[in-house]
Chains A and B, each alone.
Chain A
Amino acid sequence: MNSICAPSDTEEDEAWDLDIEPHASLLSLRLGEVWRYRDLLYLFVRRDIVSFYKQTILGPLWFFIQPLLTTSIYVLVFGQIAGLSTDGLPQVLFYLCGIAFWNYFSECFTKTATVFRDNASLFGKVYFPRIITPLSIVLSNLFRFAIQFVLFLLIAGYYYWRGEVHLQLTVLLFPLLVAIMAVLGLGLGMLFSAMTTKYRDMAFLLQFGVQLLMYASPVIYPFSQIPEKLQPLFAWNPLIPVFEAARHGFLGSGSVSPMGIAYSVLFSIGVFLISTLIFNRVERTFMDTV
């Protein structure tokens, strides 16, 4: 044990670029660092989009085919067979709008929730701000959402021209609605990501929970179809005002309440703050438990 170089305190203590300590500050998103890694964010998003259709014959067309097929199935099953009401709206439009929004939310949520598990091999070898991965999920799904929504607008355009449905002024809320979905999906996902690393049970619970949440949201039915007695039971769901406002803006049916939107906004921000706290804590040592 002779020549261990004991660090001397006399040496200048300045100019350390990197300081690794057991605990980091909890509520910081370290946005500066995220900004330095913005190229990585871009490349992750690009990877997700490009690899989605690599080695397929139809290529990027799949982005259109998928929602079209889902919509046709919904029209057939829920519209024709089950005969669920669509508030008098054309069924294709009704379901396509619901599906686009729901897919965006649920993809952000479930992909983020298992982000540590899915990327364990990558996270186990290199450091980069972990928040980049959930952000890339949100952005690459935003791209898919945009495509699905363009599809929706094309079909809606036909109905506008025929004069069967009309745009409302509430359509201006659209960017806010998308933002709520993104922040809520990201927040809930990060909240669960912490738990799925340690307790795998959460992953199963999550699958079931997301399905349940879909039926508790007006994706395949309009909110007006819920019996008045039961409506308070659904009031907690921050997704309801979003779906309702989206349908009101683009298709002119449904209801928009400023209170409901405000609740959704506050709920999303609250979840996001709490989840940031947890995510920061977990990202530093999750490798030991995953």
Chain B
Amino acid sequence: MTAAIRFENVSKQYRLGEVGTGTLSHDLHRAWAKLRGKPDPFALVGSVNDRAQKGGEYVWALKDISFDVKQGEILGVIGRNGAGKSTLLKLLSRVTAPTAGRIRARGRIASLLEVGTGFHPELTGRENIYLNGAILGMQRPEIARQLDAIIDFSGCAKYIDTPVKRYSSGMMVRLGFAVAAHLECEILVVDEVLAVGDAEFQKRCIAKMQSVSSGAGKTVLFVSHNMGAMANLCTRAVVLDQGALAIVESPQNAIRFYHDSSPLYQSPKDLIALQLDSELKFRSVSLDSSDGSVDKIGFRSKVNLKFEYFLEVEIVGLELAVAIYGVNGNRVFTSERSMCFDHPVSVGLSEATVSIPAETLVPGHYTVELAASVPNSRIVQILKEVFRFEIVDDGYHFSRYKDVDVGCVYVRCDWHEQAGQVS
């Protein structure tokens, strides 16, 4: 199969810290080196893109990326925040130029880096369809031809002659996506659009992406944190890690690789930066289990989540919750503090342990979310993916059920029976 996009040793360097007055001296330095035919003196300074590590004024957001995207495939791009996913897409959509290397592509590229780009609040929905379509590279006759389909797809027909500043954010996104989805292109670049919109609309988007690639033979490059969508939609996936290409694999293998290679973060320094500025802060979090393991935990051991939190002022109706997510991003279960205690969360520092009973989670990868909220009102604090762990088969008879879906959790129910009774 021929390649639709080819990345050849693509690298992108960014300068860290304040860009401004200081750059003048560097610029002069650079110009001087160029005059003498020397290489760029600052291109050598770059270090590997590791957010946690300090030092180095320049950073390689991408380093020597080479791979092909085949025609007609849906390629997923996976990676932690800051792994270089967005940079990759930015280069491809020509928002910024690579520092080194070369990208070549066949056909028109349409990118949905963020939908609704260039919407003008004062213009009506219809006017914005034209404007947005033209920004994305369509011509007016082309848009006019598709206008009805776009309006229909967005589900905003009633408001199409209303200025978009009166639209809800959901409607805005839907209108934006509708325009982009009707672009006549050979390559579609999608970034995280599925995070917004309601469930019904998401379903439509996914269907559209599938039909685009299978029906019209278009190539799709898809970036998302939603591993479920990734596993369902993609034919192949690449994993980016610290700006370098880790693997190109089947989506299942890539997702597994991604989970295996992602470290747990537990240092309190990281924790503070991740949290919202609010009345409740998690001071420390840790995880252990009754078999002593912290990442590969046996099915028959108990998993203990420990966390310290500090509450500044009393909040009426404050609820703490732990949520366990499966590998596809689906929530396996939730546990709330109020199920065990009646008294409100006390002001000051508290320590809590939440134990997941043994023989509950079936073997697989899980992530943990910690949240403090006033239900139906506001989220006070939230830590997503605060832990990542794997439950492994430690000799339980899962092997009996090879290839049988046993569900997400085992539950020790109360079984009652009386033997030998015939009525």
Contact = CB atoms under 8 A, between A and B. Distances in A.
Interface string A114-134: 000000011111111000000
Contact of B140 (A6, A39, A127): A39
13 contacts: A1-B246, A16-B105, A17-B107, A20-B103, A21-B97, A22-B97, A51-B120, A55-B122, A125-B113, A128-B135, A284-B96, A287-B96, A288-B15
Contacts of B21: 199
A228 interface: no
Given A6-B66, A11-B3, A125 B98 contact: no
Given A21-B102, A126-B113, A4 B3 contact: no
Contact of A198 (B19, B96, B134): B19
Interface in A236-290: 284-285, 287-289
A124 to B, nearest CB: 6
B306 interface: no
Contact of B104 (A20, A22, A123): A20
A20 B135 contact: no
Contact of A51 (B23, B104, B111, B122): B122
Contacts of B122: 50-51, 54-55
A22 B99 contact: yes
B90 A126 contact: no
Contacts of A55: 122
B337 interface: no
B23 A198 contact: yes
Interface of A is mostly: loop
B120 A47 contact: yes
Interface in B94-121: 94-109, 111, 113-114, 117-118, 120
A2 interface: yes
A1 B8 CA distance: 17
Interface residues of A, number: 47
Interface in B66-106: 66-68, 90-106
Interface string A10-26: 01100111111111100
A43 interface: yes
B163 A20 contact: no
Interface string B10-46: 0000110001110110000000000000000000000
A51 B93 contact: no
Nearest to B250: A3
B123 A47 contact: yes
Contacts of B114: 125
Given A1-B246, A126-B93, A17 B106 contact: yes
A126 B111 contact: yes
Given A17-B105, A20-B104, A7 B66 contact: yes
B95 A126 contact: yes
B86 to A, nearest CB: 11
A199 B3 contact: no
A7 B245 contact: no
A36 B19 CA distance: 35
B6 A18 contact: no
B20 A22 contact: no
Contacts of A122: 117-118, 135
Contacts of B140: 39, 42-43
A26 to B, nearest CB: 13
Interface in B239-256: 245-249
B323 interface: no
B109 to A, nearest CB: 7
Given A39-B134, A127-B93, A16 B111 contact: no
Contact of A285 (B97, B113, B123, B248): B97
A37 interface: yes
B163 A127 contact: no
B361 interface: no
Interface string B130-143: 11001111111000
B135 A40 contact: yes
Interface string A40-84: 101110010011001100000000000000000000000000000
A127 B94 contact: yes
B278 interface: no
Contacts of B377: none
Contacts of B376: none
B67 A47 contact: no
B2 interface: yes
B6 A7 contact: yes
Contacts of A23: 97
Interface in A24-39: 24, 36-37, 39
A71 B21 CA distance: 41
A126 B67 CA distance: 23
A235 B66 CA distance: 58
B107 A3 contact: no
A179 B284 CA distance: 67
Given A20-B92, A24-B97, A37-B137, 20 more contacts: A4-B247, A5-B68, A7-B67, A11-B2, A16-B105, A17-B108, A18-B103, A19-B103, A19-B104, A20-B103, A22-B98, A39-B140, A40-B134, A43-B130, A47-B127, A122-B117, A125-B113, A126-B117, A126-B136, A287-B96
Interface in B43-57: none
Contact of A15 (B23, B106, B247): B106
Contact of A5 (B113, B163, B248): B248
A166 B400 CA distance: 104
A7 B8 contact: yes
A16 to B, nearest CB: 4
Contacts of B90: 287
Interface string B162-173: 010000000000
Contacts of A121: 117
Contacts of B14: 288
A199 to B, nearest CB: 7
